[in-house]
A and B are shown apart, each in its own frame.
Chain A
Amino acid sequence: MLTRLRYRLAVFFAVLGPGFITAVVDNDAGGIITYSQAGARWGYLPLWTLLPITIVLIMTQEMCSRMGAVTGKGLSDLIREEFGLRITFLLMALLLMVNLTNIMANFAGIAGSLELFHVNRYISVPIGAAAVWLLVVKGNYQSVEKVFLSACVVYIAYIISGILVEPNWKEAAIYSLKPTLMLNGEYIAMLIGMVGTTIAPWMQFYLQAAVVEKGITTKDYAASRIEVIVGCIMTSVIAFFIIVACAGAIWKVAPRDIQTATDAAQGLKPFGQYTFLLFSAGLFNASLFAACILPLSTAYSVCEGLGFESGVNKRFREAPIFYWLYTLLIVVGAGFVLIPSFPLIRMILVSQVINGILLPIVLIFMVLLVNKRELMKNWVNPWVYNMVVWITVVVMIGMSLAFAGISLRGF
């Protein structure tokens, strides 16, 4: 019995690749809280965004893994080689700042989820930060990755609870297809956050690097593409049920903003008293997983783009900048969360909006690169792709400008 289970698991992990891991980490603290907030505050209204977001998500992820498979180089490497050091430097500086807010968000997730168990954040966050640092620098990350991935089964809880809250399926179906636009600062910020958390800029760098790392080439690319697409759809399905669960449990009673992680746990109310446990465990797992991957991926991207030695298999003396950057990201990311009365949930939401603002810039570089025939040979983008990506870029810039305009007028 046990051996059979083990066999099943082995098969499962054998097919796991970069696409699947990226998809799972996509639903990190930022993702869970952003979707919960969207459902709690706006009900079924935001559901329509999921379909276009999924399409763009699939396209961007596919572009990245294709670039990785064809060129064998990471995204920051390609940007450096094609656009020079100054542009790379600026982009990496931006990425560093944006990812730092994402790292903060995930440490905020660790703090928030454990506070549900009455664990003080001054204990949970430093321990979490130290654990993450040690795990990657001294430990065996690969084996722990599997634990994280398995623990993500908790997400199924959202699908079940989404069904159990007995949401208005008719309304959910209608709003899934009916776009609703409002010139409301909060609404626009929510939309940017939704896109920013699902199609996060760091994911593009991470996925492409992971594809290269795994040694996927054009020959075995077809299988990789399927995995990427399945991963993207899975991300969106979970997002759908988180929104529906929160719409059914919170918005139906009284639409409001989520202030604490406890509020978000309300979405799982129909599960009874164990909802807390399930939600906190899920949020904790997702936050810790992302807190492991994000600083590492950021340090890799920045060091590769700027030509510093990088890699956890290098010793500290060989790659000092890489290790310092990695350490600082964790220390600063965790440190901010420890500031007294630091608004955890607000921080998480803001970080996702910042993601959404950086996204079009990253997309522009990606689409320029993927269309270079000397790099991609016969694997350049078909024109439909380019059209969709450019439309996304224009829409995201438009929304960012509208958001900036509305926020400025508000002051």
Chain B
Amino acid sequence: MAETLLFLTELLGLPVYDLKGRRIGRIRDSAIVPLIDPFRVDRFLVGAGATWLTVRHDQIQSISLEGIRLSDELLTPYHDDEYMLRIARDLLDQQIIDVNGRKVVRVNDVTFEVRGEHDHEILRVLEVDVGIRSIFRRVFQGALPRTWIRRLQRPIPPKSIRWEFCNIVEPDPQRRLRLNISHAKLEQIHPADLAEIVEELSPESREAIFETIDNEYAAEALSEVDPKMQASILESLETEKAADIIEEMSPNEAADALAELEEETSKEILEEMEPESEVRELLEFKENTAGGMMNTEYIALSENSRVADALIALKGNQDQLEGLNTLFLIDADGVLTGGVSIARLFVASESTPLKSLAFDNLIKAPVHESENRVTELFDKYSLLSLPVVDDDGKLVGVIAADDIISVLRRR
């Protein structure tokens, strides 16, 4: 088994022999052409004197620690090919995202598998190596014989990430296309984890990720990013894309994000957004008041409704179900008159009037209430959500417990 593996540190500097057994040079780099095959090493770059030659994968007879033997001698000089992902140049020592382990790692070495195909041998990228074992190989690469390094590294536990879980971050959109790099894999990660990952990357890479991932997912991840970084990411994106992402965010988070931006940028983004958006209204409120903290996504029913009406309303607002715990009752003028815990709906018959299920004491906050007072209310009454009313008592928004947790964590 061990013989079928080859490390990049071993591949680099490996002598290349022609059909008659003459050495023509040493391996300087190797490349994958992801559009053709994301695993197979397609080209080997051989330094022969001052020039570099390109060896195609099907021109190779055998690959071992002793060297590479060719089956074809028609080699072409190397010229930069935009479709190549050069492993030593583009991958080694760079940061990639481990989708499975949900973290940013730096590539120390790459493990290939030597595989027989028809009558010749090819290399396939198996894993990217991180950890002490690969550092050991790198430090002694070229200083000790390859077989010694293999023997000496044995006691050190390996640490690798399978190639299919590796996500390369490429800031250049053209190159992204040519190298067939998509960040779609990242969408398997929980948005909160992705937020943590991007905080470790450089601004360029952050921008690249948010530019390419799905808007709705980007919105979720962006809501979790630190507010200052949020602003710098939004500012670096195209206005149109930034507007698309913000539209997908919940209105209060969108308002907070826009408030962090520079006046001009946030105006541009707002203009780009669809006009009926509630974010504009929320921006009117001061950030550290109930108005600034609240969300305008809630379900309110007429105070005369019955349980059956509530169930219909819930079915009609599927996108809000997650995290929803209270329904609100309003009169004909929109004035808040009561609240019903959703759990109550399950134990009542369909014809029960909602009014009879309402809380005994409805706690609410005016829009101008201070952030401190709002958190106090949550603590004192053990609330899960708090309705916010305007000067006329009309329901204008809801603050959820997780908004309070964010406020407290920020302190």
Which positions in A face B, CB cutoff 8 Å?
71-73, 80-81, 84-86, 89, 215, 217, 306-307, 309
Contacts and interface: CB of A to CB of B under 8 A. Distances in A.
Contacts of B212: none
B93 interface: yes
A307 B232 contact: no
B240 interface: no
Contacts of B94: 81
Nearest to A89: B139
A72 B206 CA distance: 10
Contact of B138 (A71, A73, A85): A85
A172 B55 CA distance: 70
28 contacts: A71-B202, A72-B204, A73-B202, A80-B93, A80-B106, A81-B93, A84-B138, A85-B93, A85-B108, A85-B135, A85-B138, A85-B139, A86-B138, A86-B139, A89-B138, A89-B139, A215-B226, A215-B228, A215-B232, A217-B203, A217-B232, A306-B106, A306-B135, A307-B105, A307-B106, A307-B107, A307-B108, A307-B135
B141 interface: yes
Give 8 nearest A-B pairs by CB, closest first: A307-B106, A72-B202, A85-B138, A72-B203, A215-B228, A73-B202, A89-B139, A81-B93
Nearest to B138: A85
A84 B103 contact: no
A80 B139 CA distance: 13
Nearest to A218: B203
Interface string B89-125: 0001110000000010111100000000000000000
Contacts of B139: 85-86, 89
Interface string B184-227: 00000000000000000111100000000000000000000010
A187 to B, nearest CB: 39
> Does more than half of chain B's interface fall in helix, strand or loop, or is it mixed?
mixed
B196 to A, nearest CB: 9
Contacts of B141: 86
B384 interface: no
Contacts of B203: 72, 217
Interface residues of B, number: 21
Contacts of B93: 80-81, 84-85
Nearest to B228: A215
Contact of A307 (B130, B201, B226): B130
A238 B92 CA distance: 45
Given A84-B93, A307-B107, 15 more contacts: A71-B202, A72-B201, A72-B203, A72-B204, A73-B202, A81-B94, A84-B92, A84-B138, A85-B139, A86-B139, A217-B203, A307-B105, A307-B106, A307-B108, A309-B103
Interface in B278-319: none
B377 interface: no
A73 B94 CA distance: 12
B229 interface: yes
Contacts of A89: 135, 138-139
A81 B88 CA distance: 11
A103 B138 CA distance: 29
Nearest to A78: B202
Nearest to A309: B103
A73 B229 CA distance: 15
Contacts of A73: 202
A307 B91 CA distance: 14
Nearest to B143: A86
A306 B201 CA distance: 16
A368 B271 CA distance: 44
Nearest to A305: B106
Contacts of B130: 307
A217 B236 CA distance: 11
Contacts of A85: 93, 108, 135, 138-139
Contacts of A81: 93-94
A215 B228 CA distance: 8
A81 B94 CA distance: 6
Contacts of B226: 215
Contacts of A307: 105-108, 130, 135
A141 B229 CA distance: 21
Contacts of B106: 80, 306-307
A215 B203 CA distance: 9
A194 to B, nearest CB: 35
Contacts of B228: 215
Nearest to A80: B93
Contacts of A71: 202
Contacts of A72: 201-204
